[in-house]
């Protein structure tokens, strides 16, 4: 058997088809991001609420919290609450008008020389209190002394000439009666006498001027006041035409304060001032915490400043201790009226909201209740109560944030009526016995 005949010829394999490239998967569709816009809107709302919170609060009705119904100390917070109370009293309250002011001297003198010459002596100490007539400076008087002597000599000579002219006039008058001299000669001699009298008057004026220059060379204080720093040293030549002063004297006691008030407050001030009433004025420091001096309103300006709508007023103060100093800034308080026999309470006890003004009244059974009040004048830490409470009523002034209507309190009455901070309030724990009555005794 032929080996070739038994071999089966296989056809060549068909070429493989190239593989189709895989397509990339489609990206998922993005959903629109809404949270940044939501966050921005929330931020804007929060900012608006922060800026306009005061106006928003007025729209929210505020009312005192309802009384706690639970009597247990652990359940409803009905335990005794430590507080500090003050007692309403009957008294007087003053009404002040306040204005910004500056201390202004009543008199200020710039001392200058009225003659020319060398400054020989300085007879004062800087900052010294001097009195009217005290010697301050001495300018060289010798040139003016010489001028005085010269004027006096001229006067003496002309007086002798006048005496001789009068003798001749008398002789000519006798001779004229005897017709021994012509009348013209008598008239001429009479005119010579009159002329000489005029010369003597001029000589006397020269003498007076020389004496006056001697007085000007000796400089004295024209007022009582305090001397400032020395502006010219001895040895310098000073002139009457110098623009700079030799020294400055300022009156310190008394002294004045010039302050301003708005034109809306002028009517009662003008009425009382024109009626002859004396209106007290107080001068307080820059922070209005310390009273410096008491004075009296002296006068008011004659026109209102149109740019500010205010009028200037002057008050005079006795200042023996020099507590007020020129150009010092002060707060002036003008006492315009006093309310007598009114109900007064510490202003810290008066609570206010958008709807009412009220106090926490301490009842005899050591509970508190809300009492609406009408407040008038507020001066310092005292408030005038027109209605709502009476003198002798106790009201809470420290610890009001913990109170509810009907809460039991252990109220210690402040002996001086001043406001105590919560940290300085005395121990009034629920365990202490005696309650409100015992606290009042301890306060006494």
Would you say residue 372 has pLDDT above 50? yes
Give pLDDT, residue 7: 44
Residues 386-396, mean pLDDT to the nearest whole number: 88
* pLDDT band at 13; cut points 50, 70, 90: low
Residues 117-132, mean pLDDT to the nearest whole number: 92
CA distance 410 to 394: 12
CA distance 78 to 329: 53
Residues 383-407, mean pLDDT to the nearest whole number: 87
pLDDT over 90, % of the chain: 41
Question: pLDDT by residue (tens digit) across 191-220?
Answer: 999 999 999 999 999 999 999 999 999 999
CA distance 64 to 62: 7
Give pLDDT, residue 100: 93
Give pLDDT, residue 34: 63
Question: pLDDT by residue (tens digit) across 24-42?
Answer: 555 555 555 566 777 777 8
Give pLDDT, residue 17: 52
Beta strands in 151-203 (DSSP E): none
Q: Which helix (H) or strand (E) holds 436?
A: helix 435-443
Domains plus CATH for the chain?
81-91+342-443 (2.40.420.20), 108-249 (2.40.50.100)
CA distance 68 to 336: 47
Give pLDDT, residue 29: 54
* pLDDT band at 355; cut points 50, 70, 90: confident
* pLDDT band at 14; cut points 50, 70, 90: low
Residues 79-108, mean pLDDT to the nearest whole number: 89
CA distance 144 to 209: 9
Q: Which of 295, 377, 280, 372 is nearest to 335 (CA)?
A: 280
Give pLDDT, residue 428: 36
Give pLDDT, residue 57: 58
Q: Which of 443, 373, 371, 372 is nearest to 410 (CA)?
A: 443
Q: Is the peptide bond before 41 cis (omega within 30 degrees of 0)?
A: no
Give pLDDT, residue 168: 87
Q: Which residue has the higher pLDDT, 433 or 336?
A: 336
Beta bridge partners of 202: none
Give pLDDT, residue 76: 37
Give pLDDT, residue 28: 53
Predicted TM-score (pTM) above 0.85: no
Q: Which residue has the higher pLDDT, 389 or 427?
A: 389
Would you say residue 62 has pLDDT above 70? no
- Residue 245, judged by CB atoms within 10 A of its CB (0-12, 13-18, 19+), counts as middle
Lowest model confidence (mean pLDDT) among 172-186, 218-232, 268-282: 172-186
Q: Which helix (H) or strand (E) holds 336?
A: strand 329-346
Please, what sign has the CA dihedral across residues 360, 361, 362, 368? negative
Residue 224's Cα: distance from chain center in Å? 27
Q: Which residue has the higher pLDDT, 369 or 77?
A: 369
């Amino acid at each position: 058997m032929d080996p070739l005949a038994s071999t089966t010829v296989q056809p060549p394999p068909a070429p493989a088809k190239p593989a189709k490239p895989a397509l990339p998967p489609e990206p998922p569709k993005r959903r629109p991001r809404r949270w940044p816009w939501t966050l921005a809107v929330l931020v804007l709302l929060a900012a608006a609420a922060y800026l306009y919170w005061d106006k928003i609060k007025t729209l929210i009705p505020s009312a005192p919290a309802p009384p706690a119904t639970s009597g247990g100390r652990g359940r409803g917070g009905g335990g005794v609450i430590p507080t500090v109370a003050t007692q309403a009293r009957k008294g007087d309250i003053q009404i002040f008008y306040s204005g910004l002011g500056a201390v202004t001297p009543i008199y200020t003198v710039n001392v200058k020389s009225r003659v020319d010459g060398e400054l020989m002596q300085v007879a004062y100490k800087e900052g010294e209190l001097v009195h009217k007539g005290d010697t301050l400076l001495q300018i060289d008087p010798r040139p003016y002394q010489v001028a005085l002597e010269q004027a006096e000599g001229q006067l003496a000579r002309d007086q002798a000439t006048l005496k001789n002219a009068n003798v001749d006039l008398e002789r000519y008058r006798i001779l004229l009666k005897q017709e021994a001299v012509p009348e013209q000669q008598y008239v001429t001699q009479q005119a010579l006498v009159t002329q000489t009298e005029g010369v003597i008057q001029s000589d006397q004026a020269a003498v007076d001027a020389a004496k006056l220059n001697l007085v000007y060379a000796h400089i004295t204080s024209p007022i009582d006041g305090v001397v400032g720093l020395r502006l010219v040293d001895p040895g310098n030549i000073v002139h009457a035409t110098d623009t700079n002063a030799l020294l400055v004297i300022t009156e310190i006691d008394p002294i004045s304060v010039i302050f301003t008030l708005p034109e809306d407050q002028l009517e009662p001030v003008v009425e009382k001032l024109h009626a002859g009433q004396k209106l007290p004025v107080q001068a307080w420091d820059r922070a209005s915490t310390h009273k410096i001096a008491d004075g009296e309103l002296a006068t008011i300006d004659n026109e209102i400043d149109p740019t500010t709508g205010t009028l200037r007023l002057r008050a005079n103060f006795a200042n023996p201790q020099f507590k007020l100093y020129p150009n010092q800034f002060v707060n002036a308080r003008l006492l315009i009226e006093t309310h007598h026999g009114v109900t007064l309470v510490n202003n810290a006890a008066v609570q206010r909201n958008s709807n009412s003004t009220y106090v926490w009244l301490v009842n005899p059974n050591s509970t508190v209740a809300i009492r609406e009040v009408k407040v008038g004048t507020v001066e310092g830490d005292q408030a005038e109560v027109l209605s709502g409470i009476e003198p002798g009523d106790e009201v809470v002034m420290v610890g009001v944030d913990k109170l509810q209507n009907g809460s039991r309190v252990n109220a210690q009455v402040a002996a001086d009526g001043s406001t105590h901070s919560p940290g300085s309030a005395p121990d009034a724990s629920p365990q202490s016995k005696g309650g409100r009555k015992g606290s009042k005794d301890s306060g006494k």
